[in-house]
Amino acid sequence: MTNIFEAAASGDLDYIKNQPQATLKSRNDRGWTVLHFAARYGQLDIATYLRDNHGELLTVVNGDGKTPAQLAQFWGYDQVAQLLSPPQQEQQQSKEQLSSLSKQVNHVNFFAGSPLNRYGWYRTEQDHLNRLMHATNARFLLFSKLDPLFDKNDKKTGLYWADVEKIKAASLEGALVFLGIDERFVSDKEGDAKEGIPYWALDITVNEKDNNMTLVQLHQDLEKEGLEFSSPLPLGFQLDRESAAILAQARAMVDWHTRNKFCPACGNPVKIKEAGYKMTCSSNETSQCISHNGIHNFAYPRTDAVVIVCIVHPTADKILLGRQKRWPARMFSCIAGFVEPGESIEEAVRREALEETGIHVDHVAYHSTQPWPFPNSLMFGFIASATNEQVKMEDKELESARWFSRSDVLGALKGDGIFTLPPKLAIAHQLILTWATSTQPAKM
C-alpha cells in the first residue's frame, strides 16, 4: 500500500495530486513532510507542484532542523534545492542582516588586546632570555596558588609588578614564563632592555613539603608592603584593559604549569622549555614514551574552545537566554558550551543550542572572541537564528531557558528589567547588547 511519503519519494505525482489538502500537511514520526521526501529523493516534478500549490511546506523543518531545500542541498539535488530555496534577494537580505549584527569588526573583548609583543622567536634564545630576565626595567607578575599579587594600596586596585631586585630570592628557574615586551617604552638606560619593558610571570607558591625559607621570607616581605595574593575574579574586572590582558596570558600559563607536572603518557616528571611554552617528558627520548613520537597536544599550552551564542527568534524580535542554578538569582545569559572533538565551531553552536534548549539553529554569524583564562578557555561569540520556538531542555544543564523581548532586554541592559545580565565585560553581555541595539530588527 502506498502512502503519500512513499509516493513523494518515488515520484508518483498523480497520487500526490489526488490527495486532500489536510493529508499533504501531515508529518511522519521524524517530522518529515511530503516535500521533505520529494527533496530527499530529488523528485523535481513533485517539488515543483508542492512549491506552487502548498508553499507553506517550504519553511517546515524536520526533526533534525532541516528545511526541504537544505535536505536537497545535502543530498546533492542542486536543481531541487534551488527551486525550494527562498528567492535570492531574500537570502541576500538575510545574510546582510546577520552580518550587520556582527558588524563590530575587530571588537576587542576584555582580557584580549594585550599591548605586548610576545617575541616568540626569543623563546629558544637563552642569551636573550637571560638578558630580558635580569633587565632593570623587567616586570614580574607574581603568583601564589594561582592567585596573582594585587596592590591594594593603589585605589584603583592594580596588579603589583615586581622588579628583578625584589624577586632575587626566588629561583628564576622552573615556573617562570616570558610574556613579551611592551615596545611603547623603549629605553637606552644602562641595564634596561632596549626593546622596551619585558614582562614575566613567576610562580612563587611555597611548597608545603620543601618549606623553602627564602620564599617564605619573600611572602612575608610582600605582605608587609600591603600586597595581597587574591583570586583573579572579581578583582581582575577592575583592572585597566591592558593589565587585564597581560593577567589573562600569565594566569593561563601559570595554571598550565601548575596542573601539568608529569607526563600524561608515562608519568615521568616533565621539563619546561622555551621560556615556559613547551613541556617535554624527562624520560629518555629513545624510551617507549609515546610523547616523543608524532604530534600531540600535551607539549604545548592548551586553549579550549567554547562557543557562546545569542539565539534570535524566527520572528527576530526576541532572543533566547538561559540560566544555571548556581548563578545569581534572576540572572540569564547566552547559551554556551565546549567544542567537542570532530565538530566545527558552527556545529558546536547548533549542538549546544539543541541539547540545552531544544532549539534548532540555522545561520550562525561570528561576532568576536574573548580569552577566559579560568583556566584556559577561548570563548567564540556568535549571533544565530532559530528555526523553531518550542523550548525543551534536553540535557538539564540549564535550570530555565526562555525568550525575552527586545524591551525586556533593553530593560535588563539598563539594570531595571525583569531579569539581570552578566557583567558588561563578559562577551555574553556584548552579544546581547549588539542584538538589542541593532538599528533594524533583523529578520533572519
Site stretch for Zn ion (CB under 5 A), options 187-195, 282-290, 338-346, 362-370: 282-290
- Which residue lies nearer to Zn ion by CB, 283 or 438? 283
Using CB under 5 A as the binding rule, whether residue 280 contacts Zn ion is answered as: no
Minimum distance from CB of 278 to Zn ion (Å)?
14
Q: Which is nearer to Zn ion, 284 or 400 (CB)?
A: 284
Main-chain phi, psi angles of 274, to 5 degrees: 50, 55
Q: What is the Cα–Cα distance from 415 to 402, expressed in whole angstroms? A: 19
For the CB of residue 420, give the shortest distance to Zn ion in the complex, in Å.
48
Nearest Cα to 202, choosing from 244, 146, 156?
Answer: 146
Pairing state of beta strands 361-372 and 335-338? unpaired
- CB-based contact 229:145 (threshold 8 Å): yes
Q: How many residues bind Zn ion (CB under 5 A)?
A: 8
Answer yes or no whether residue 289 interacts with Zn ion by CB under 5 A: yes
In order of 131, 159, 263, 332, 386, the CA distances from 359 in angstroms are 56, 43, 41, 17, 6
Site mask, Zn ion, residues 248-267, x = CB under 5 A? Answer: ---------------x-xx-
Task: Compute the least distance from the CB of residue 282 to Zn ion, in Å.
Answer: 8
- Binding residues for Zn ion restricted to 130-159, rule: CB under 5 A: none
Minimum Å distance from CB 270 to Zn ion? 8
State yes or no: residue 177 binds Zn ion (CB under 5 A). Answer: no
Closer to Zn ion by CB, 268 or 376: give it. 268
User: At its nearest, how many Å lie between Zn ion and the CB of residue 303?
Assistant: 22
Of 44 and 265, the one with the shorter C-beta distance to Zn ion is 265
CB of 271 to Zn ion, least distance (A): 11
Quick one: which of 35, 281, 335, 412 contacts Zn ion (CB under 5 A)? Answer: 281
Share of the chain residues as helix, strand and coil, in percent rounded to the nearest 5: 35, 20, 45
Stretch that binds Zn ion, among 24-32, 182-190, 224-232, 285-293 (CB under 5 A): 285-293
Taking the C-alpha atoms of residue 165 and residue 159, their distance in angstroms, rounded to an integer, is 18
Query: Does residue 377 belong to the site contacting Zn ion (CB under 5 A)?
Result: no
CA angle 161, 163, 167 (to 5 degrees): 105
Q: Is 345 in the site for Zn ion (CB under 5 A)?
A: no
Query: How far is residue 23's CA from residue 7's CA, in Å, rounded to a whole number?
Result: 13
Using N-to-C axis directions, what is the helix angle for 406-414 and 427-436, rounded to 10°? Answer: 130
**Chain residues in the site for Zn ion (CB under 5 A):** 263, 265-266, 268, 281, 283, 289, 291
